[in-house]
Amino acid sequence: MARTAEVGGVIRPVDGRLRALATRTRRLSEIARESLRNPTTLIGGVIVVLFLLMALFAPLLIEPNTPNAYQMPRDFSSVNVPPGTDGHVLGTTPTGGDVLYGIVWGARTSLRLSIIVVAITVVIGVAVGSFAGFLGGKWDEVLMRLVDVFLSVPELIFALAIAAVLGPAFGNIILALAVVFWVKYARIIRGQIIHVKQNEYVDAARVMGDKRWRIFLKDVLPNSITPVVVQATVDMGHVVLIGATLSFIGLAEAGLAEWGNLVSEGQSGIIAGRWWVATFAGAMVFLWSLAFNLLGDGLRDVLDPKSERR
């Protein structure tokens, strides 16, 4: 029998919080075990971890260029040298940039891009979608019509237009992608909240006298956030793919250590047999996007309570 104590004239279980903590711990352990048993999650997770290690330890793998580590160093005496050349393991670009430097520091650039864009868009999208879904009425109507306006334009075209107007800069790519990507989170969280707030435990909390926003923070939002986590994981790869596309067409700074820039520099040499620049950089974009898509699909299988396996 649980121990109890009288607090303010109300009998409450002393170990209630401990039981809640134990339940959450068991749930996290279960998610971890199922993730490791899921081949999709495991493969995607391994590739993601390798990319994260490359990005985090980039200064240890290759000495950073000074004064700006994100600008590729140039060696104009070694132009278009093939992979395996002494001092240039993966070869060089047509402007003397070291391909290995661009690959390693490009991982760091991609990590910065994906984390910043996804963090901004999740915060804005969840705030707007929660406001619309939980309050309903005219607020829901106005905010969702705004979302529909943003969704009416394809992501790539919208981001391209914004970045082109702002000018070629990495910061402008971040801003353009943030403007484009938040709407999907607003749509997802709004639908989840409308579904969750109809459950009986939400009605029970309301009958017990809990304040409206306490119900939202305690009961509604935590039970609505899972699809957002899955979408954010997938978008970590999608953001880098769109960002590389914008860099490829010249909307990032010249010489930036970024995979789309490398593909752009190396495309002219493919026909002439200088395949290494575009191939290595393109493979990094592909693997990054693939890894986060695999991880997101695996998390969807693990976290979705409606999945057949669960």
Residue 77 falls inside a structural domain: no
Residue 183 structural domain: 47-64+88-303
For residue 288, name the pLDDT band (cuts at 50, 70, 90): very high
Quote the tokens at residue 55: 């990005």
| Span 104-122, pLDDT tens digits | 999 999 999 999 999 999 9
Total count of domains within the chain: 1
Burial of 164 (0-12, 13-18, 19+ CB in 10 A): middle
pLDDT in tens, 14-55: 454 566 556 656 766 766 676 667 788 888 889 999 999 999
In a domain, 71, yes or no: no
- Please indicate, yes or no, if residue 18 is contained in any of the structural domains: no
Is residue 218 assigned to a domain? yes
What average pLDDT does the structure give for the chain?
84
Domain assignment of residue 5, yes or no: no
Structural domain includes residue 213 = yes
Q: Is residue 55 part of a domain?
A: yes
- The CATH number linked to 161 is 1.10.3720.10
Q: Is residue 117 part of a domain?
A: yes
